[in-house]
Amino acid sequence: MIRFSRLSIFFFLLLPLGSFADSANDAIARATAAMVAGIPRAQADPLRPIFHVTSPAQWMNDPNGPIFYQGYYHLFYQLNPFGDGDGPKHWGHVRSRDLAKWEPLPIALAPSTEAGEAGVWSGCCTINDRGEPMIFYTSVAQGKSAFDHAEQWAATSDDDLIHWQKSPANPVLSEELHGGRKIYDWRDPFVFHDGKKTFLVAGGHLEKKARAAVNIYQAENSDLTKWIYRGVLFELPDPNTPTAECPNFFKLGDQWVLFVSPYGKVQYFIGDFDATTCRFKARAQGTLDYGSSFYAPNTMQLPDDRRLVWGWINGFPGGHGWNGCLSLPRLLSISRDGELHQQPAPQLTKLRGKPVEWRNLHLENHNAALTLPKTNTLEIQADLSLNTESIIEIKLKSGATDAQPIYITFNRTTLGVMDSRAPLQIGQKLSLRIFIDRSVLEVFANETVCLTKIIPPLDNNSTLEIHSFEDPATAKLVRAWPMQTIW
């Protein structure tokens, strides 16, 4: 756990180093003080995850601007430092050398209230053509509804991405760019490059409650402060989709991938991008996570061109002094048959403690309850060999007799995690990675299906039972590790 004293001293020490204007300094100091005041309560809460990225306290939502820069993985996130519910959005900040251990950093961006700004909403971080780190985000104005009016602003940093100055060129993109076209909920800029060209996509919808669309813009200067509108990159196939928040558009291998958050489960599309016409044609479509707690993901390009994604895990009970965390980092790839694969970042194995394991369990007559490591922060791996009709049931149960078990089931074509279902077509092998971090559960099945849920935490005396019905099945390996904190 982060200790309160270490963290608060850290925040206050860093603040005077800022070279930004006084009003920005004041706004960040006020936000920091409010957040630090919330730390003792947030950190004492037994629901609070310890190996997922969280804000030190208060409300957080979307991951913003993931970037690997000068040897650090940086993540920013939407933060309301003043309370554990929705409120004026700032950008919180953490970084890591190895994707396993993380370090909280000072709040990166606060609304410039003197310039009429009410919220610093989601966006991205990139390096402009002059080598300068640059954030793009949606600026929401005081007294205006983001549904009807938004601007895209930029900020630059000349140190280790810790202190940021808003661009004198703001707004760097405004609605006038669209000519006569009205775009509702216009937001969440994401910059990408293709050859020598730099593009930006932003989400929204073309009718009041319909025609979700991702819009595309092309940079006209190396500072990335001048842009032209190139039209609609992609309109979602179902015209009733209400919106397309937080678009991410990137190349994975030789294919283009688009993520959008449509107020429901996050959708991905795989297809081709024509950089001349600025249009995307999708060949395949899928769901990034089948739980109801994963939203607004954002991706990071790695130096070797691989890509990681983090989502916002939401749906926690209110009133605990904190709310929200980021998913574990997931490494993305496209399989030979054109499916999107997600695998927990390999570096997460550094957080594992000493495992317990069982091998070659015949599940049709396996009645023993396996004793898990004595903690409620766990990783469980289960490699199963199935027959055509096998039905599998995994039951995770606290020691307390009245505790409600967590069920993970598989019946030929469907993976079930508590009350959520996901289609899963497999051959004879089912490989599960299950992460339990107090009130967070993330399940990866055969790297193709992910399902994130909020759960009542297990206690420190939990067991695992695993059975097969209808047709025999074998657990080649079941292994469980206690997981350590990332802080």
Residue 53: burial class (beta carbons within 10 Å; 0-12, 13-18, 19+)? buried
Smallest gap, in angstroms, from Cβ of residue 414 to ligand FRU? 28
Q: What is d(CA 117, CA 120) in angstroms, rounded to the nearest whole number? A: 8
Residues with Cβ within 8 Å of residue 128, at least 6 apart in sequence: 134, 156, 222, 223, 224
Look-up of token digits 């602003």: 153
In the complex with ligand FRU, the residue whose CB is nearer, 155 or 296, is: 296
Q: Name 119's bridge partners.
A: 140
Task: Answer yes or no whether residue 186 interacts with ligand FRU by CB under 6 A.
Answer: no
Question: What mask, x for binding ligand FRU by CB under 6 A, covers residues 188 to 217?
Answer: x-----------------------------
Site residues (CB under 6 A) for ligand FRU, limited to 450-479: none
Q: What is d(CA 46, CA 439) in angstroms, rounded to the nearest whole number? A: 8
Using CB under 6 A, pick the residue from 79, 108, 109, 246 that binds ligand FRU: 246
Smallest gap, in angstroms, from Cβ of residue 192 to ligand FRU? 18
Q: What is d(CA 181, CA 314) in angstroms, rounded to the nearest whole number? A: 33
In the complex with ligand FRU, the residue whose CB is nearer, 104 or 242, is: 242
3-class SS at 50? coil
3-class SS at 240? coil
Q: Show the tokens assigned to 378.
A: 């766990």
3-class SS at 4? helix
In the complex with ligand FRU, the residue whose CB is nearer, 121 or 164, is: 121
Closest of 330, 348, 349 to residue 340, by C-alpha: 330
3-class SS at 419? coil
Closest of 36, 29, 33, 27 to residue 7, by C-alpha: 36
Using CB under 6 A, pick the residue from 8, 43, 55, 78 that binds ligand FRU: 78
Task: Answer yes or no whether residue 61 interacts with ligand FRU by CB under 6 A.
Answer: yes
First to last CA, the chain: 6
Look-up of token digits 């990408």: 192
Residues with Cβ within 8 Å of residue 168, at least 6 apart in sequence: none
Task: Answer yes or no whether residue 289 interacts with ligand FRU by CB under 6 A.
Answer: no
Residue 45: burial class (beta carbons within 10 Å; 0-12, 13-18, 19+)? middle
Task: Answer yes or no whether residue 138 interacts with ligand FRU by CB under 6 A.
Answer: yes
In the complex with ligand FRU, the residue whose CB is nearer, 138 or 293, is: 138
Site residues (CB under 6 A) for ligand FRU, limited to 332-361: none
Look-up of token digits 């995850």: 49
Smallest gap, in angstroms, from Cβ of residue 119 to ligand FRU? 7
Q: What is d(CA 379, CA 106) in angstroms, rounded to the nearest whole number? A: 30
Task: Answer yes or no whether residue 84 interacts with ligand FRU by CB under 6 A.
Answer: no
Using CB under 6 A, pick the residue from 122, 152, 241, 398 that binds ligand FRU: 122
Please give the size of the binding site for ligand FRU, defined by CB under 6 A. Answer: 13
In the complex with ligand FRU, the residue whose CB is nearer, 187 or 438, is: 187
Using CB under 6 A, pick the residue from 74, 93, 163, 187 that binds ligand FRU: 187
In the complex with ligand FRU, the residue whose CB is nearer, 62 or 442, is: 62
Task: Answer yes or no whether residue 244 interacts with ligand FRU by CB under 6 A.
Answer: no
Task: Answer yes or no whether residue 260 interacts with ligand FRU by CB under 6 A.
Answer: no
Using CB under 6 A, pick the residue from 52, 89, 95, 163 that binds ligand FRU: 89
Q: Quick check: 335 and 286 in contact, CB under 8 A?
A: no
Q: What is d(CA 138, CA 65) in angstroms, rounded to the nearest whole number? A: 12
Using CB under 6 A, pick the residue from 59, 73, 77, 121 that binds ligand FRU: 121
In the complex with ligand FRU, the residue whose CB is nearer, 377 or 452, is: 452
Task: Answer yes or no whether residue 296 interacts with ligand FRU by CB under 6 A.
Answer: yes
Smallest gap, in angstroms, from Cβ of residue 61 to ligand FRU? 5
In the complex with ligand FRU, the residue whose CB is nearer, 245 or 379, is: 245
Task: Answer yes or no whether residue 62 interacts with ligand FRU by CB under 6 A.
Answer: yes
Interface residues with ligand FRU (CB under 6 A)? Answer: 61-62, 78, 89, 121-122, 138, 187-188, 245-246, 295-296
